[in-house]
Every structure is written in C-alpha cells, then in structure tokens.
A and B are shown apart, each in its own frame.
Chain A
Amino acid sequence: MNYRAIRAIYLFEMARTWRTLLQSIVSPVVSTSLYFVVFGAAIGSRITEVEGVSYGTFIVPGLVMLSVLTQSIANASFGIYFPKFVGTIYEILSAPISYFEIIIGYVGAAATKSIVLGLIIMATAGLFVPLHINHPIWMLTFLVLTAVTFSLFGFIIGIWADGFEKLQMIPMLVVTPLTFLGGSFYSVNMLPSGWRTITLLNPVVYLISGFRWSFYGIADVGVGLSLGMTLGFLATCLAIVWWIFRTGYRLKR
C-alpha cells in the first residue's frame, strides 16, 4: 500500500473543504436550519406526533440523511471530476498507486466531510428540538455506511460526467426526489397503501428508516432489511467502481 499517496490525496481533498468552508459546511447547515423553521416550527406545531415522537424531532434523522446523501455525492463527484476537467488527473494516473488507493483517498475525504457535516447538523437540530439517540453505535454505523456508499456513488458520477451539466443532473433529477420521497418528512405508514408499495422501491427509504430507528426505535421497515439494502447498494457501487478501473472507462484513453 502506498499510504503516503492516500494521505496526499486525502489531505488535498480536505484542504479543498477548508478553502470552500462557506459552501461545503455553512450552506448545508443554514438550509437545514431553514427546514427546521419551516417544517419543525411552523408546520410541525400543527402536527401533533408521528408514532409517538414530536414532528420536529421526527424529521431530524431524515434531514441529516438528506444532507449526507447530497453532500457525499456532490463532494465525491466534484473531487474526481475536477482533475479530469482541468487535466491534473494525469498525475494521479501516472503515480505508483493502485485504483483502490485512489478510491480510499477521494471517497474517504468525501465521506469524512459528509459525516462531519451530518454531526454538525445533528448538533444544530439539538438547538431546535430535544434529541435522544437510542442506539448511538448503530446511528454511527448507518451514518458512515451511507456516507461511504453515496461518496462512491458520487465518485462514479464524477467519472461518468463529461460536462458540468451531467455532474448536476443525477443529483438534481434522481437523488433529490428520491430523498424527499424517501420518508424524510413523513412516515411511510402515513401513505395510502398503493403509494406505500411504490415507495418501498426507493432505496433511500431503507437508509432513512434504519437511521431513524437508531434514534427513536421506530422504523418503516425492519432494521435488518435497512442494513441489508444499504450494504447491497454499497456492494453495487463497489462493483461499478471496480469495473471502471479495470477498463479505464472515461479515465484512460
């Protein structure tokens, strides 16, 4: 293992975060706070409780997931797309490092950022509503798994994209709708039965459900299923990344 190279890539990417602190940390925190004001305070005050938890408290895990998902994808896709765009990827490709090490560097940095961000948002949420975490270890497990999985997914998008438009397309058109419809703001049980079945095709439902369970012990689907789906998505992303590097898809001519 070329640990120094992993470290170099990781620190390079983290340095980018500090340079763009406003955009990468402050802006998600501000937008999440707005969600709390709108949904938690304004609308939430009219909704009594969801499955025994006050509405404001209920939406916290979903909001954290919303930010972790979108930020993981944004960070990782931009992290690998940008060197491709400006041409500095030549150095990564010509360095004595394996693909695995490249991924640890880029995906590790992107995941770190979104985990930190998730924790900051949780802390922010604690200022608005009372929070309690029943299963802290599981909470962290779901957080880390989701951050890593979606950073990998972002990495794939960043490699696939050959323009800034494509870089935005998947997050905007696919991920945001899936997240909003994934039970961030409501329990799947609140839906009519037909919609419920359709919703269960949405992978994000399982992530949010599992994550919410680790907080309040309530879930839309079984925790084992949540974990299984998360791991399954992780395995899919790993397989695609493995194929990308094996073939040099969009990286090597």
Chain B
Amino acid sequence: MSPIISVSNLSKVYGSGFKALNNINLDIRRGEIFALLGPNGAGKTTLISIICGIANPSEGNVSVDGHDIIKSYRAARSMIGLVPQELHTDSFESVWATVSFSRGLFGKPKNPAHIEKVLKDLSLWEKKDSKIITLSGGMKRRVMIAKALSHEPQILFLDEPTAGVDVELRKGMWEVVRTLRDAGVTIILTTHYIEEAEEMADRIGVINKGEIILVEDKAKLMEKLGRKQLKLHLAHRIDAVPPALAPYHLVLSEGGTELVYDYDTAGERTGITSLLGDLRNAGIRFSDLETSQSSLEDIFVSLVRAP
C-alpha cells in the first residue's frame, strides 16, 4: 500500500542560517501510529510544521496521499488535523464556538452531531459553553485536540500531546488515540517520553540534529529490548575464552576479568544454567554476577549521543 505521507530529501534552513532539517526521507504508512522521538531542538516540530503548511521547506518535497503539500495544498491540508505543542487558543470564545470555527475553516459543512461526539469523547461536553480562558491547562489541550478532530481528518499530528498532562488524563488521551486509529486515522506523534512511544506506537522514528537516524517497527525494537546481558566477574584473570565455551559467544572484557553473555529472555531457554555448568567444568570461577537489560531509552540515548 502506498504511504499516506511521503517526505523526500526535505531540508530546512531558517533565516538565521540554522539548519533545522537535513535531507529527511520518511514514509508514514496508512493507518499506523508513528512515534517521532528526539531530544529538544532535534527538528520534530519543524518537520511537522512543514508538512502542515506552517513553515516553508527549503528543499525537497512532501506529499500527502499523493497530493504535493505546495501545489495541491488544499487537498493535502484538508486531510490533516494538527495539535501543536504550545497551548495556542483563543481566550474569549466558547469551546463550542472555537471547535465549530475550526470545522468551518477546513471547509466542512456544519455538523453539530459530530462536534458533540468529539467534545463528549474528550470529556469537554460540560464545558461547551465555557470561555476558553476559564479552562485548566489540560482542558485547553483537549480543546486543541477537539479543534483538530472537528473536521474529521484522516491524519492527525500530535506534537508533544501529553506534555504537562496528568497521568489519568494522559491515559484518557491514549484511549482517544487508539479509538481514532481503529477508525482508520493515521497518527503521528512526537514525544520525548519514551514509555509513551513504547505504549502506543506501531513504528518509531528517531530524529536528532535534523536527521532521521532510525525508523523501525516497535516490535523489532522491542526484540532488541528483550535482550539481556549477563556479566560474570571472574575470580581470576583469564587470557582467552576456553574453546569449550565457544557456543555461548562469550566476550571477554575488563582486561580478562569479566565475561559477558548476551541472551534472549523471549527464547525458551536462556542457556544460563548450562553456561554456568560449563564454566565450572572449564574450571572458571566467578566472584559475582549481574544481569542488565537495554531499554528503549538506552538505545535512544546511544543513538542520539553518537557523534
């Protein structure tokens, strides 16, 4: 199936000379939840801004369901709902008016039933006649989501949707996102909460310093996560791993005083029992052992820190 968003060779240089995006190539699949991870200033918001028409690209192309975002901006933009990171809302409008305004702006005929449903799904129905200025931060965030959903987009961008949102509300928001995905909406979210990506996403992309450095199915990433390491601190230094232990692919480190064994917790057998038995047979004794698991966070940090 053709990708719903296709970004090719996209670069962005700001007026100040700062290169925010460098030759980005990225395809978003139809109906997926794609999490874009990256540290602050990595270019997440710039990428979203260009796709949605808020910033101009310096080079490259973006097409949304086959529509070029510049030449066919109407067709492209009418498919997209955007929830920006900052809380940009009117103050004196009512919730109902501002959400209806968004629907009109996107050229959709009035549909009070749809607006009602969106407000109810986001637990905003009781506040529909309240002025936005009277709402709490979490409610304003939901108003912005309601505005984005008011025109029934097929693609939803959520830029840091749960920043500053309490745990319960965050769970409620994920519920809404899942429902949307089940209804066939493609969702692209940026976050720097890694658990969030882990919990929600089908695929994960990592962006750093304006470049996409990894795009992978979450399942594959989780496989990497499923791997653990056993470190054995040896009682006596050894020069080489005895040939009898070759099947375990052990790595000798710390100047010959530590053996490292990688194993998969998802496998039926970890091989730890037999390894320990074989070590004793080979006459290697250890003074201590530790196990560790690489988290998505470790992978992320190592990717982002890499020169």
Q: How many residues of B sit at the interface, in one of the four size bands?
A: 35 or more
Among B75, B90, B93, B106, the residue within 8 A (CB) of A5 is B106
A residues adjacent to B (C-beta < 8 A) = 2-5, 7-9, 11-12, 15, 19, 86-88, 90-98, 248, 252-253
Identify the interface centre among A3, A91, A92: most chain B CB within 10 Å of its CB. Answer: A91
Contact A5 B53 (CB under 8 A): no
Asked if B82 and A5 make an inter-chain contact with CB atoms under 8 angstroms apart, the answer reads no
* 15 pairs, A vs B, C-beta closer than 8 Å: A2-B74, A11-B104, A87-B86, A87-B88, A90-B54, A90-B84, A91-B147, A93-B54, A94-B77, A96-B74, A96-B77, A96-B78, A97-B107, A252-B54, A252-B56
- Cβ of A155 to closest chain B Cβ, rounded Å: 18
Contact of A253 among B56, B91, B104 (CB under 8 A): B56
Residue in B14, B15, B93 whose Cβ sees the most chain A Cβ within 10 Å? B93
Query: B303 at interface (Cβ–Cβ under 8 A)?
Result: no
Tell me which residues across on chain A come within 8 A of B109, comparing CB atoms. Answer: 4
Query: Which of A19, A95, A253 is within 8 Å of B105, CB to CB?
Result: A95
Name the A residues within 8 Å of B105 (CB-CB).
Answer: 4-5, 8-9, 91-92, 95, 97
Q: A149 vs B70: C-alpha distance in the bound complex, in angstroms?
A: 29
Cα–Cα distance between A137 and B236 once the two chains are bound (Å): 106
> A132 to nearest B CB, angstroms?
42
Contacting pair A88 B104 (CB below 8 A): no
Is B47 part of the binding interface, using a Cβ–Cβ cutoff of 8 Å? no
Q: Which of A87, A94, A253 contacts B52 (CB 8 A)?
A: A94
CB of B120 closer than 8 Å to a CB of A = no
Partner of A94, one of B56, B75, B80, B101: B80
Docked complex: B97-143 residues within 8 A CB-CB of A: 97, 101-109
B193 beta carbon closer than 8 Å to chain A:
no
Question: Which residue of A is nearest B97, CB measured?
Answer: A15
Given contacts A90-B84, A94-B53, A248-B56, contact A253 B14 (CB under 8 A): yes
A94 engages B74 (CB within 8 Å): no
Encode contact with A along B53-91: 1 for CB under 8 Å, 0 otherwise: 111100000000000000001111110101010101111
B92, A19: Cβ atoms under 8 Å?
yes
Give CA–CA (A96, B102) in the complex, Å. Answer: 11
Please indicate the chain A residues that have their CB under 8 angstroms from the CB of B53 in the complex. Answer: 93-94
Q: Please report the C-alpha to C-alpha distance between residue A88 and residue B98 in the assembled complex, in whole angstroms.
A: 11
Question: Is B295 part of the contact surface with A, judged by Cβ < 8 Å?
Answer: no
The answer to the question of B49 belonging to the interface, with a C-beta cut-off of 8 Å to chain A, is: yes
Q: Which residues of chain B come closer than 8 Å to A96, judged between CB atoms? A: 73-78, 106-107
Q: Once the chains bind, are B107 and A91 in contact (CB under 8 Å)? A: no
Distance A86 CA – B84 CA, assembled complex (angstroms): 13
Q: Which B residue sits closest to A12, measured CB to CB?
A: B101
Interface centre among B52, B76, B78, B105 (most CB of A within 10 A): B105
User: Smallest CB–CB gap between B107 and chain A, Å?
Assistant: 4
**B90: nearest chain-A partner, CB-CB:** A88
* Minimum CB distance partner of A93 in chain B: B54
A81 to B181, alpha carbons, bound, how many Å?
36
Chain A residues, Cβ within 8 Å of B93: 12, 15
| CB of A172 to closest CB in B, whole Å | 26
Nearest CB to that of B77 among chain A residues?
A96
* Whole-angstrom distance between the Cβ of A12 and the nearest chain B Cβ: 6
How many angstroms from the CA of A178 to the CA of B93 in the assembled complex? 36
Query: Contact at B104–A8, with CB atoms within 8 Å?
Result: yes
With A4-B107, A5-B104, A88-B88 known to touch, is A95 a contact of B77 (CB < 8 Å)?
yes
Beyond A86-B91, A87-B86, 10 extra complex contacts between A and B, CB < 8 Å: A8-B101, A8-B103, A12-B101, A15-B93, A88-B88, A91-B88, A96-B73, A96-B106, A252-B55, A253-B49
